Chain A
């Protein structure tokens, strides 16, 4: 600690603090422009000047280290004069063409930080700014980022944001003297200069020289609604900017906020910041629809016939009738339910309750699992947990080495990808990237490996073989018993470097190098995603990675682990809350009678112990006539894979399809009833991100047209199915469907789901987020999840078997 006096106030601050930081700790505000606390200091604008006793000239406080006993003054007439002079100088090279909307009229920008300080110091922008533009006002063709160098004051915040946050290094300050300006790449367009359109530079620009192109003249928001992004499992927090009393579009832009408690702080990616069009898209479904034949009680035409817009009552009645008929014809398992990793937690829970309590089946899965195998399930089998062990920041700050496998990290989970880039640059850690194709993250890899598709498990076997042979694993850390090591050795014996190289197509040298990199600096953190989810090999992929991590002792180590990031924003929550064919909420197995008993008691009905079919098998058994009706909620079943052949055939063959969606996509062609759900901007509830972090989603606007929050549709549908289905449901604590809001549903979830025990909307609103397991109302949540949390681990070694069927180009792995 070091002491100093600021404005007659003496205080102690940590060593290495700057005067600006000390002032902030003392609650004293100093004007700044080029400084931002998320970025490295630059000291370019000089607005932050202060007087220091014993120095002749004012000093820039943002880069001024503290000497013991320093006496600082932050306000004086001289300083005010000085700051005014600086602002006038900055304005000389600032020209505002007047395209900002204020109270409906276009005019100059009064909202940016420079304008703010000009106002504070009583400087009239229009009087002092340049008289004519020096650059084209909108000078870059980037579709999302607006560039107006006339407003640039060369603070270099954009340069630093792109380098230190997004890791793309698009901007530099080039040229010199009065010609100096901000340049993209080698003076090209932003996109040619590697820009990923994340908008970080926009978020940090203090003058609006960089702005959001789609909404540059849209004016100010009436309200900011903090919510969770609906695109990926990173779960960034963002502010929907809403204008009330405007016809048509009302979410006018998305902004981010510097809140240190969130995953992303001010960072967002292209999708989260600029992909909000879909909310007001003209393709939104705004009215329920049923096919004409259903209204006429006529037989179904081959192409299902004409659509008719109907009211909710009719649509719900028709949907309920169709499902009940399938139930009567083929029993509970004649109905298949496809949920989605896009639904709210509360909605996934209700959909599961609809399947299990109302219909009596476990036949529910996520659309994402039509093509991709459920890697969470394999992770549960292999390690006793379904989700990531580590928070993102723990991986970025503690991993010794990274193995990114089957993940297009910077596109699938961009904000986490950017954190990994920074970890590599700042901590100089090494990364091996394994994928059949080039992925952008490989640019930062010490070694990229490109195995043939679906040979990743073999590659890992080969690596284990080599690590054992060369004694590269640290004995003291190994998390396998010696017997298991012997078994592992036998199991991988046939994957010599030569054999592995032949099978995977990866050169022997590269295998050696990879093994060395992966073992040099523990802990190893494995980051993986759906690239490993091909159903033929998903299980083996997961098992071999768990074996590797046990051998290296990197499981159950902060910064290590096998970290699986699913493909959809709330695929975690959907799995957590029962959108799987074999698990009740909280990963309680449907075969476990104690777990079942709890739900039977709560829901007032006997539950099926038979696991349902997975999404893929569900669709296949449609063709066999076993599944007669499908209820697809929240997702486009045909759009989850490049090859929709099987799904198309199954949907076409299905007797009755109810499709609930916010946008009518191709799947609608095969539906008999269309129920308009809403986007995340139109409902309140929660999402759980890949790190197990539960966060609130807040409603920003009223549902568009007649669309309705999905949970309300589930509730109304359940109420219409219940009376006509012959199931004995007796009154019980949670047998009814009278929810008034999602907070009430969360209470029910908490009561029945151990990992969500302590979760409530009020707590989430207060804390910002909670990592499950949250074991009680006082429990702070669990940032690090130990393996075997849900299920005991039988063996520390998992045997994996390789078979090469005749005629196959690529070897196929099957479980033992």
Chain B
């Protein structure tokens, strides 16, 4: 299990401020830093609380230097990438690859097994906040398809039979 992933989506204002401040310090207050800062929040909290956008903007927005960053810019980025979530996720996030190469290698059976074993449809989070199931596109490791991710860990050549063992590591 990958360290650094938040255990649940309770977080304090101060924590969020600290995460953003550290991410800004590490990546600079420039436009290019937006994605690394968003990833940092997503990783630490499991999702990007929408109020982070206003906080990030205040660091980076420098109209006098020709850069005006509004919430709309940040929201466009945060909502575009599938690796970001704008809603709280469960303790563990399972993202399965839904692109064609994985699909033809038996991906469909894997997806069905995941849905059944977790009792979730893509996009849903379990009632006990333990699991979130998400769909993603090609992860770039098609050679070992079908593929899914649990948090930051990647699993290749998966079959429906292997799924209980993989999930058990996180229960």
Q: Which of A's residues lie within 8 Å of B, judged by CB? A: 159, 163, 167-176, 183-188, 193-194, 421, 424-426, 428, 430-431, 443-446
Question: CB of B14 within 8 A of chain A?
Answer: no
Q: Interface readout for B56-78 with A: 1 if CB under 8 Å, 0 if not?
A: 00000001111111111111100
Could you say which of B66, B67, B70, B74 has the most chain A C-beta atoms within 10 Å of its C-beta?
B70
Q: Interface readout for B90-127 with A: 1 if CB under 8 Å, 0 if not?
A: 00000000000000000000000000000000000000
Find out whether the CB atom of B76 lies under 8 angstroms from the CB atom of A194.
no
Find out whether the CB atom of B73 lies under 8 angstroms from the CB atom of A172.
yes
Docked pose: A171 CA to B64 CA in angstroms: 21
Residues of B contacting A445 with CB < 8 Å? 64
Known: A183-B79, A186-B50. A172 touches B72 (CB 8 A): yes
Known: A172-B76, A176-B80. A194 touches B70 (CB 8 A): yes
Find out whether the CB atom of A174 lies under 8 angstroms from the CB atom of B76.
yes
Find out whether the CB atom of B50 lies under 8 angstroms from the CB atom of A428.
no
Docked pose: A431 CA to B65 CA in angstroms: 11
Docked pose: A446 CA to B34 CA in angstroms: 22
Find out whether the CB atom of B70 lies under 8 angstroms from the CB atom of A446.
no
Find out whether the CB atom of B66 lies under 8 angstroms from the CB atom of A172.
no
Find out whether the CB atom of B64 lies under 8 angstroms from the CB atom of A170.
no
Residues of B contacting A163 with CB < 8 Å? 68
Find out whether the CB atom of A187 lies under 8 angstroms from the CB atom of B75.
yes
Question: CB of B53 within 8 A of chain A?
Answer: yes
The minimal Cβ–Cβ distance linking A251 to chain B, given in whole angstroms, is: 33
Find out whether the CB atom of A175 lies under 8 angstroms from the CB atom of B72.
no
Can you name 28 A-B pairs with beta carbons within 8 Å? A159-B72, A167-B68, A169-B69, A169-B70, A169-B72, A169-B73, A171-B72, A172-B75, A172-B76, A174-B79, A174-B80, A176-B79, A183-B75, A186-B50, A186-B54, A186-B71, A186-B75, A187-B75, A193-B70, A193-B72, A421-B63, A424-B64, A425-B63, A425-B67, A425-B68, A428-B66, A431-B64, A443-B63
Docked pose: A171 CA to B65 CA in angstroms: 22
Residues of A contacting B80 with CB < 8 Å? 174-176
Find out whether the CB atom of B64 lies under 8 angstroms from the CB atom of A446.
yes
The minimal Cβ–Cβ distance linking A255 to chain B, given in whole angstroms, is: 26
Residues of B contacting A430 with CB < 8 Å? 64
Could you say which of A186, A425, A430 has the most chain B C-beta atoms within 10 Å of its C-beta?
A186
The minimal Cβ–Cβ distance linking A328 to chain B, given in whole angstroms, is: 62
By beta carbon, the residue of chain B nearest A517 is B64
Find out whether the CB atom of B79 lies under 8 angstroms from the CB atom of A444.
no
Find out whether the CB atom of A444 lies under 8 angstroms from the CB atom of B64.
yes
The minimal Cβ–Cβ distance linking B77 to chain A, given in whole angstroms, is: 9
The minimal Cβ–Cβ distance linking A633 to chain B, given in whole angstroms, is: 43
By beta carbon, the residue of chain B nearest A444 is B63
Docked pose: A194 CA to B73 CA in angstroms: 13
By beta carbon, the residue of chain B nearest A443 is B63
Find out whether the CB atom of B75 lies under 8 angstroms from the CB atom of A174.
yes
Known: A169-B70, A176-B80, A194-B70. A185 touches B75 (CB 8 A): yes
Residues of A contacting B53 with CB < 8 Å? 186
Q: List 12 additional A-B contacts (Cβ < 8 Å) besides A169-B73, A183-B72, A446-B64.
A: A172-B73, A172-B76, A174-B72, A176-B80, A185-B70, A185-B71, A186-B71, A187-B75, A187-B79, A428-B65, A444-B68, A445-B64
Docked pose: A172 CA to B75 CA in angstroms: 8
By beta carbon, the residue of chain A nearest B61 is A443
Find out whether the CB atom of A426 lies under 8 angstroms from the CB atom of B71.
no
Residues of B contacting A170 with CB < 8 Å? 70, 72
Find out whether the CB atom of A193 lies under 8 angstroms from the CB atom of B63.
no
Residues of B contacting A184 with CB < 8 Å? 72
Docked pose: A188 CA to B50 CA in angstroms: 10
Residues of B contacting A446 with CB < 8 Å? 64
Docked pose: A186 CA to B71 CA in angstroms: 6
The minimal Cβ–Cβ distance linking B76 to chain A, given in whole angstroms, is: 4
Docked pose: A430 CA to B62 CA in angstroms: 11
Residues of B contacting A174 with CB < 8 Å? 72, 75-76, 79-80
Residues of A contacting B76 with CB < 8 Å? 172-174, 183
Residues of B contacting A421 with CB < 8 Å? 63
- Which among B68, B69, B71 is the interface contact of A193 at CB below 8 angstroms? B71
The minimal Cβ–Cβ distance linking A189 to chain B, given in whole angstroms, is: 12
Find out whether the CB atom of A186 lies under 8 angstroms from the CB atom of B73.
no
Residues of A contacting B74 with CB < 8 Å? 186
Docked pose: A382 CA to B72 CA in angstroms: 46
Residues of A contacting B70 with CB < 8 Å? 168-170, 185, 193-194
Residues of B contacting A426 with CB < 8 Å? 66
Find out whether the CB atom of B71 lies under 8 angstroms from the CB atom of A424.
no
Residues of B contacting A169 with CB < 8 Å? 68-70, 72-73
Find out whether the CB atom of A175 lies under 8 angstroms from the CB atom of B65.
no
Docked pose: A428 CA to B62 CA in angstroms: 10
Residues of B contacting A194 with CB < 8 Å? 70-71
By beta carbon, the residue of chain A nearest B65 is A428
Residues of A contacting B65 with CB < 8 Å? 428
The minimal Cβ–Cβ distance linking B29 to chain A, given in whole angstroms, is: 16
The minimal Cβ–Cβ distance linking A484 to chain B, given in whole angstroms, is: 33
Docked pose: A193 CA to B76 CA in angstroms: 13
Docked pose: A167 CA to B68 CA in angstroms: 9
The minimal Cβ–Cβ distance linking A427 to chain B, given in whole angstroms, is: 8
Docked pose: A167 CA to B69 CA in angstroms: 11
Find out whether the CB atom of B63 lies under 8 angstroms from the CB atom of A424.
yes
By beta carbon, the residue of chain A nearest B72 is A172
Residues of B contacting A193 with CB < 8 Å? 70-72
The minimal Cβ–Cβ distance linking A541 to chain B, given in whole angstroms, is: 25
Nearest 7 CB-CB pairings of A with B: A169-B70, A172-B72, A446-B64, A172-B76, A174-B79, A186-B75, A428-B66
The minimal Cβ–Cβ distance linking B41 to chain A, given in whole angstroms, is: 14
